[in-house]
Amino acid sequence: MSDQTINGDPILFTFRSFSQSDGYEEKRLSPTFLLSLCPLKADVLPKIMNKNLTIDQCNELCKGTLMEHLGMKITVVEEGRVEATMPIDKRTVQPVGILHGGATIALAESVAGIGSYYLCSSEEHAVGMQLSVNHISSPRKGEVKAVAVILHQGKKSHIWQVEVFAADNKLVSVITVTNMIIKKKVS
C-alpha cells in the first residue's frame, strides 16, 4: 500500500483510464471514494443532497463514470422521482442486437441511487442492496427512458420502482431497487 493520501485517506490503488478527448488519465482511489460506491463522482454527493444541482450540472458530473460510458442522460431529479434516458447502441445491446438486460439494470440502479442520494441527509449515503427485475420487451433501436418513483422512504432503506420504456412508450422492464441508507462514519 502506498503512503500517498487523498484528503488524508491512503490511496488503495491507482489505475489508468482512456478517453478519446483526454487520452490516458491516472486515477487514484481512496477508501472514502470506494465507500461511496455511487455511479456518480464523489464530489457530486453533497451537491445532490443539498438539492443545488441543475440537470446539466448533474450530467456534467457523471463524466468518467459508467453512466457516461453507457450514454445515460439525467432528465429529471426531484424529491421522490428521477428520470434518465439511455441510447440503444453498440454499448448497450447484446450480440443479437437487442437491448442488454445488464445495461437496463445499470440504468435503473443509477436513477434509484441518484434519487436516494437526493433524499439523504449530509450525514448519510446510499448503497444498492437488492434488485428485482422483470424484462418484458426487447427494443432494438432508439433510446429507453427510466422513470424511478420512490415507494418507501425509511430511515434505513429506500425502495424505488423503476419503469423503463422504449421510444414508442412500450414497457421494457420493471425493476424494484432497494437502497440501504448508511450513516457516514466520523473519522
Q: pTM above the 0.85 mark? A: no
The verdict on 93 and 125 lying in the same domain is yes
The verdict on 58 and 145 lying in the same domain is yes
pLDDT given for residue 13 in this prediction: 43
Question: How many helices and strands in the chain, by DSSP H and E?
Answer: 5, 10
Taking the C-alpha atoms of residue 70 and residue 102, their distance in angstroms, rounded to an integer, is: 11
The verdict on 106 and 136 lying in the same domain is yes
Number of domains in the chain: 2
Are 40 and 61 spatial neighbours (Cβ–Cβ below 8 Å)?
A: yes
The verdict on 5 and 88 lying in the same domain is no
pLDDT 10s per residue in the chain (187 long)? Answer: 345 554 554 444 444 444 555 555 555 544 444 444 444 445 555 555 546 667 887 888 788 999 999 999 999 998 899 999 999 999 999 999 999 999 999 999 999 999 998 898 888 889 999 999 999 999 999 999 999 999 999 999 999 999 999 999 999 999 999 999 999 877 6
The verdict on 3 and 26 lying in the same domain is yes
Residue 128 sits in a domain whose CATH number is: 3.10.129.10
The verdict on 28 and 117 lying in the same domain is no
Residues near 81 by Cβ (< 8 Å), separated by ≥ 6? 115, 147, 148, 149, 150
The verdict on 29 and 88 lying in the same domain is no
pLDDT given for residue 108 in this prediction: 97
The verdict on 58 and 98 lying in the same domain is yes
The verdict on 82 and 139 lying in the same domain is yes
Full residue range of the structural domain in which residue 89 is found: 41-183
pLDDT given for residue 26 in this prediction: 55
The verdict on 178 and 117 lying in the same domain is yes
Helix (H) or strand (E) holding 82: strand 81-87
The verdict on 29 and 50 lying in the same domain is no
Taking the C-alpha atoms of residue 171 and residue 76, their distance in angstroms, rounded to an integer, is: 19
The verdict on 72 and 108 lying in the same domain is yes
Collapse the DSSP code of 36 into the 3-class scheme (helix H, G, I; strand E, B; otherwise coil) and give the result: helix
pLDDT given for residue 14 in this prediction: 46
Active site residues: 109
pLDDT given for residue 61 in this prediction: 76
